[in-house]
Structures are given as C-alpha cells and as structure tokens.
Amino acid sequence: MMVIVLAIAAALIWQGQATANSPESEFGCDPLLNHADLEAALIAAQADANGGFGLHIWGTLVDRDGVVCAVAFTGVDRGDQWPGSRVISAQKANTANAFSLPGLALSTANLFTAVQPGGSLFGLQESNPVDTSVAYGGSSGSIDTEFDPMVGEKIGGVNVFGGGLALYNADGHIIGAIGVSGDSSCADHNIAWKTRYGLGLDNIPGGVSTTGDDNIVYDTTVHPATGHTASTSGWGHPDCSATATAIAIGGNVPNPPGPPITYDGLPTTHPIGP
C-alpha cells in the first residue's frame, strides 16, 4: 500500500512540474482572447454583408501555443450552425497561428494554392493533425460557453481555405489566431477579418497580399488539362462570389469618409480606401 501511495505522490509531483514548465504557463491566453469579446465581435461581423449565404458561424481563438482560449457561435443554439464547422474553426485558428510569425502574417486563405498537387507546400494539410479527444470530448451542453470542452486544450489541425487569421496586439506582438467557419470559405475570411478588427487585434506587421497584409488573394486559374490550380502570386485562393471578392478587395473594415469605393461595379461596404 505504501509503495502505491508513494508512486501516486511522485506522479502528481511530476505532473505539477510539467504543468509549471509547460509553454502554456509562459504564453497563455491574453486577456483579450476571451469568450465574451469573441462572441460580441463575431455576432456583429456575421450580421454584416460578407458575400456568402448569411449562415450562422463558429469562431475559435487560440493563443500562441495553439491552446484554445475561447469558442463561440452566432446563432441561438449550437444546432443553428453546421456542427462540423466548430472543429474546422479551431483548425483554422491553429493553422493561422502555426504558420504566422512576428513579422509575417499568413492567413489560411494564403495557403490554398501552395498545398495543391504540384505546389511547394503540398502535404502541409496532412501535418499537425487534429487531436480528436479534444475536438470531440466533453459535454455538448458546455459548447459556446467559457467552459467549452476545447478551451484550455491544444486542438491541432491544418486547414487551407479562408477563415483563419493571426492576431497581433497594439504592440504588434502576435498573440494567437482566430478561426471562423460555417459559411462559404470566402465569407468566412471576411467575417474573420471583421471580427479581428472588432477585437482590435489587426495590427498586421506584413503579409503576402498586394496590400502587404494577410488578406485573401484572388488570382487563381485552373489548368484545363491537369486541373491543377495556379496563382500568379503563389498565394491565391479561388473566388466564391463577386460580392465576397469586392468586400475583401475593399479591405473589410469600416468605411472611410468620402464616396464608396466600387469593384467591378459592386460597392464595397467596408473599404479601407486610399
């Protein structure tokens, strides 16, 4: 009996030391990465025009270590959104965080072309798999609360279409990422962009888009013979609708003073403007 007690005590001491020395203790969830702020910003962004189907969506925040900080949705009940999009939103957040740096932000949309067959990053989407025990564990009744079963856990996963963006605070430090899922991939990107803006975490240091940030790039073509996707910049994403493209080209943030900017004859409701 004494041997068993000593073994348990030793295991608990080791576990405590491991927790104290874990990356979560060093980085952790920034105070800005909380459920209430995410939910408010996500609902406001989804209610706006985004060029998709107007569907309710999921949003997930992760810290710099990929630990889930908050999960929220925009509907009244968890069944108002595609159930599968909950984990996809977490994948997108993990991806944007995992492949962005202090000086270079890459959105999940920026990765689309490079991971296609023949692309320089083909196979990336098979790396860093989702931890299914985190994705599907816990009580469903806790979903969309501060006690969501994914919170405090590393979800993993790589997703390579629109909806994931790295988060940079007012000091320009990367503190994690947001992932949005539940509408078209292009609308997901627009909603994530507006949500990040609403959280005040869009201080982007640089990126691969034509505007020097991590905005979605629409410059892809499909080879008629091979079916392979090509992108002029190498960072392109297929377009979903003219409206979604116009909104993204405009920049997705509140209108500046002056007349509205148009793209292909369509007004951009949230242009950055010159």
Q: What pLDDT is stored for residue 258 in this prediction? A: 32
The reported pTM is: 0.82
List phi, psi (to 5°) of 62: -125, 155
Q: What pLDDT is stored for residue 145 in this prediction? A: 86
**What confidence tens digit (pLDDT) does each residue in 186-210 have?**
999 999 999 999 999 999 999 999 8
Q: Which residues of 147-167 are buried (b: 16+ CB within 10 A; e: fewer)?
A: ebbbbebbbbbbbbbbbbbbb
Give the residue from 256, 206, 214 showing the smallest Cα distance to 235.
214
129-137: long-range contacts (C-beta < 8 A, 24 or more apart)?
Answer: 129/156, 129/157, 130/87, 130/90, 130/91, 130/155, 130/156, 130/157, 131/155, 131/156, 134/68, 135/87, 135/90, 136/87
**Tokens read off for 213:** 């940030």
* DSSP letters for the chain: -HHHHHHHHHHHHHHHHHHHTSHHHHS---TTS-HHHHHHHHHHHHTS--SS-----EEEEEETTSBEEEEEESSSSGGGS-TTHHHHHHHHHHHHHHT-BTTB---TGGGTGGGSTTSTTTTGGGSS---HHHHS-S-GGGTTSTT-TTTTSB------SSSEEEEE-TTS-EEEEEEEESS-HHHHHHHHHHHHHHHT-B-----SSTTSSS-----EEE-TTT--EEESSS-------HHHHHHHHHTSSPPPSSSPPEETTEEPSS----
Strands 266-267 and 262-263: antiparallel
For the cut 60, the answer to whether the pLDDT of residue 14 exceeds it is no
Share above pLDDT 70 across residues of the chain, in percent, rounded to a whole number: 82
Domain spans of the chain?
Answer: 29-213
**What confidence tens digit (pLDDT) does each residue in 27-83 have?**
789 998 999 999 999 999 999 999 999 999 999 999 999 999 999 999 999 999 999
Residue that is written with structure tokens 């993990």 in the block: 94
**What confidence tens digit (pLDDT) does each residue in 137-180 have?**
999 999 888 899 999 999 999 999 999 999 999 999 999 999 99
Q: What is the CATH number of domain 29-213?
A: 3.30.450.150
